[in-house]
Amino acid sequence: MRVNASFSVPGTRIARAAFGLLLTGCFAGTAAAHEGHDHSATQLTAASEGPVAMSSTFQVGDKTYRWEHRNDLGAQPEKMVAAAKGGLHNNADQDPQTKEIVTVVKSYGLVTLDPEMKAWRLVEDQDPHFAAGMNSHGTDCFEFNGESLWAFASTNTGEVVITKRGEILAKLSKPEGTEFANEKINQYYANGGKFVPCDVVFAPEAQALIVVTGYAPGDYALTAKNVDGSWQWTGAAWGGKENEGGPFSTAHGVEVNTIGGNEVVEVASRSHGRIYGFTADGEMVAMPGAGDGKYIQLPPRSNPCNIANHGDELFLPLLNPLADSNGVAPVLIISDGKPVGRLVPAEYEGLNFMHHMHGFIAIEHDGQLFGIALSWPNGGENSKGKRNDGQIAIFEAVEVK
């Protein structure tokens, strides 16, 4: 989903193009804001009480800001919390018309967060399919023919589900192998190739859904369009595993942005930590700040699960820790191909089990920047006694004085 080109933080409004260039000092410290850690040498005085999570700060001009956990927002029913704790493997998006935040919590159902971000609620009269075990590993909300639609890429059920507020309009399952303008990819599916959709996004100029399939040997980007009132696979398809001639190594997240006046499909290739850009026809284009390979190479150990855009910045939830993130994963902020900030949810009180970041969305509300982070519970770690939970948390960018 596309976002506004500017936002304001307390006391100022700044241009998004300048914002990325002014974010500095975000990596000066990595101490977690937990009792028992020494912040005496680096702690700033916050606008609100409590210690500052130093690695979650950023700077705009001569002012410093940090992400503040808004635990007064995003109230969840107990059953939703319980379902998310062990089963959250998803992302969320904002409805372009109602401004609600939308996702599916596995074995709980299709939920929305109201525009004021006060509380999550189950969508009324939703199809039982949403509570039957599917996840929303990838989520996109978009406008089509004047209506607001929601699309979910479900890895565990192997389908892309398109819905109008809980009414299922279409399910896209594995292609048959005759649909695309790429014979190699057609042959892959004709031979029974594995299909696991990781993420989905609607490209409004191309009037097409783009789906990435990084959990499969194919590792492709596939196109679906609405033809005569029916959503179906058709048109462009590209990619492939890197060792098989493709650019991807687990294409895990996909987003659409406008760069230089052109619509660009951004793909997060998780295993080798890269962000690629393409036209909707699959032609690779240079991302801002990219090297000779046209892609953005992220810092070592970066494994982005999804992409959120806000103006010129990319917000990338990382699956695992960086070398300097104290054993927990951050949301990495990139501008012009460079890291300019981060958010580490596990630094905050009550969120210390958000070890693996899977989803993130950056939104504006009343001129303020907010981030909604979703963590993934690593079942293997939990079975060995290293607790980590699936949780959803809301953060606001606030000034530190």
**Domains located in the chain, CATH noted:** 6-29+69-400 (2.120.10.30)
Under 8 Å between Cβ of 364 and 379:
no
- Sign, CA dihedral 243-244-250-254, equals positive
- Sign, CA dihedral 375-101-305-189, equals positive
Q: Place 92 in a pLDDT band, splitting at 50, 70 and 90.
A: very high
Structure pTM?
0.88
The better pLDDT of the pair 256, 292 is held by 256
* C-alpha span between 55 and 182 (Å, rounded): 45
> What percent of the chain is modeled with pLDDT above 70?
85
State the alpha helices, DSSP H only, in 43-182: 78-87
* C-alpha span between 145 and 231 (Å, rounded): 13
Q: Is the per-residue pLDDT at 37 higher than 80?
A: no
Q: Is the per-residue pLDDT at 24 higher than 80?
A: no
The pLDDT assigned to 273 comes to 97
User: What is the residue-averaged pLDDT of the chain?
Assistant: 87
* C-alpha span between 360 and 362 (Å, rounded): 7
Question: What does the pLDDT average to over 37-48?
Answer: 28
Question: What does the pLDDT average to over 7-29?
Answer: 37
Q: Place 107 in a pLDDT band, splitting at 50, 70 and 90.
A: very high
Rg (CA), the chain: 20
* C-alpha span between 134 and 272 (Å, rounded): 28
State how far the alpha carbon of 105 is from the alpha carbons of 131, 137, 195, 329, 382, in Å: 8, 10, 22, 21, 19
pLDDT one-digit tens code per residue, 244-263? 888 999 999 999 999 999 99
* C-alpha span between 334 and 262 (Å, rounded): 20
| 3-class SS string, 137-163 | CEEEEEEECCEEEEEEEECCCCEEEEE
Q: Is the per-residue pLDDT at 137 higher than 60?
A: yes
Residue 73's closest CA among 116, 118, 114, 111? 118
Q: Place 22 in a pLDDT band, splitting at 50, 70 and 90.
A: very low
The better pLDDT of the pair 10, 329 is held by 329
Q: Place 226 in a pLDDT band, splitting at 50, 70 and 90.
A: very high
The pLDDT assigned to 63 comes to 57
Question: What does the pLDDT average to over 355-383?
Answer: 96
* Residue whose tokens read 């929305």: 112
Q: Is the per-residue pLDDT at 42 higher than 70?
A: no
The better pLDDT of the pair 29, 251 is held by 251
Q: What angle do CA 157, 199, 388 make, to 5 degrees?
A: 75
Question: What does the pLDDT average to over 280-305?
Answer: 96
Which regions of 286-367 does DSSP assign to beta strands (E)? 296-297, 308-310, 313-317, 331-335, 338-343, 357-365
Q: Place 194 in a pLDDT band, splitting at 50, 70 and 90.
A: very high
The pLDDT assigned to 8 comes to 45
* C-alpha span between 359 and 32 (Å, rounded): 21
Q: Place 54 in a pLDDT band, splitting at 50, 70 and 90.
A: low
The pLDDT assigned to 312 comes to 79
CB within 8 A of 279, min separation 6: which ones? 262, 263, 264, 265, 285
Under 8 Å between Cβ of 303 and 273:
yes
Question: What does the pLDDT average to over 55-69?
Answer: 72
Residue 42's closest CA among 12, 68, 66, 70? 66
Q: Is the per-residue pLDDT at 228 higher than 80?
A: yes
pLDDT one-digit tens code per residue, 302-356? 999 999 998 778 999 999 999 999 999 999 999 889 988 899 999 999 999 999 9
* C-alpha span between 401 and 395 (Å, rounded): 18
pLDDT one-digit tens code per residue, 69-83? 999 999 999 999 999
Q: Is the per-residue pLDDT at 28 higher than 50?
A: no
> What percent of the chain is modeled with pLDDT above 90?
77
The pLDDT assigned to 13 comes to 31
